[in-house]
Structure 1
Amino acid sequence: MTLHWKLVIDTVDAPTLADFWAAALGYEVEDPSALIANLLAAGHLDQAAVTEHRGRRIFRGYAGIRHPDDPFDPTTGIGRGRRLLFQDVPEPKTTKNRLHIDIHSDPGGLAALVERLESLGATRVREVDKGPAGHWWVMRDPEDNEFCAT
């Protein structure tokens, strides 16, 4: 049996971090505005649970991104495949991540990938060169979550 899953990432500013990761991975930011409109009209959602980001209504404190080739529910805007969900939490990040994303470059394209990620708001932490075993950069996203560009 295949299980459906999503990776949930704690954030300080879910919509902004979703924008970063969508651009970094070539994913699409989910658009829940139709779902929100239906829930508001039916009285199942309080207006305080909603905010606006980049001209769309979104759930306050949440933002999802999905792979552009994977299916999604057109009624809710929620992806049914490879998906990351960002959720705001009250506590700050305090230690190294126990889980991280690796972004793979095309052969010979690591420098261009690192530069592109920096232009989106990532920062370089350190370069790792293990010779034939691999070469990559440890980086941080705009909220200091570690990831690798390989």
Structure 2
Amino acid sequence: MASSLRNITVDCTDAQRLARFWADVLGWNVYFDDDPEVLVAPSFPPARTAPTMLFIPVPEPRTVKNRLHVDLEPADRTRDEEVARLIELGASIVEDHRSDEGLGWVWLSDPEGNDFCVERSAGERAVAAKPRHFRLVED
């Protein structure tokens, strides 16, 4: 039996503030109690059909580039509209990889400097779809 992805855990200096940012990004809710950890999930208790986000306060700020990050795909708007919305919520652009043809992604950071990317929406992908052939990598 394989493992399942339970939480995307983020070390941060202000767990409630960063949890609120990500809840706004994802359209989820913030849940916390007397424990310093803060959970962001669509509902409580989480259905566990998909991972939630867990924010854990730590005393030190982030100092190096993330080795792992999340990629977001807008559900009901274009990539460019989503990037504008995320900047209004407090994100910052790190690098812009959008092309004149509409391809590419935008690398952003959240209010504490954690990296994430915004890709094109499914609708934008469908318009410019080129067949891709993936293979299953076996042992």
**TM-score after normalising by structure 2:** 0.72
Q: Which residue number in structure 2 is paired with residue 36 of structure 1? A: none
Query: Which structure has the highest helix share of the two?
Result: 1
Q: Tell me, yes or no, if the aligned pair for 1:124 and 1:137 is still in contact at 8 Å.
A: yes
Query: Which structure has the highest strand share of the two?
Result: 1
Q: Which residue number in structure 2 is paired with residue 67 of structure 1? A: 42
- Could you list the runs of 5+ residues in structure 2 that have no partner in the other structure? 120-139
Q: Using CA pairs below 8 Å that are at least 6 residues apart, which structure has the higher relative contact order?
A: 1
AA partner of residue 42 (structure 2): H
Q: How does 1:3-18 map to 2 (within 5 A)?
A: 3-4=3-4, 5-18=6-19
Identical-pair percentage = 34
Q: Which residue number in structure 2 is paired with residue 148 of structure 1? A: 117
- Could you list the runs of 5+ residues in structure 1 that have no partner in the other structure? 33-49, 51-58, 74-78
The C-alpha deviation readout for 1:29-53, integer Å capped at 9, x for no partner, is 1244xxxxxxxxxxxxxxxxx4xxx
Q: How does 1:38-77 map to 2 (within 5 A)?
A: 50=34, 59-60=35-36, 62-68=37-43, 72-73=44-45
Q: Which residue number in structure 1 is paired with residue 25 of structure 2? A: 24
Task: State the Cα RMSD in Å.
Answer: 2.4
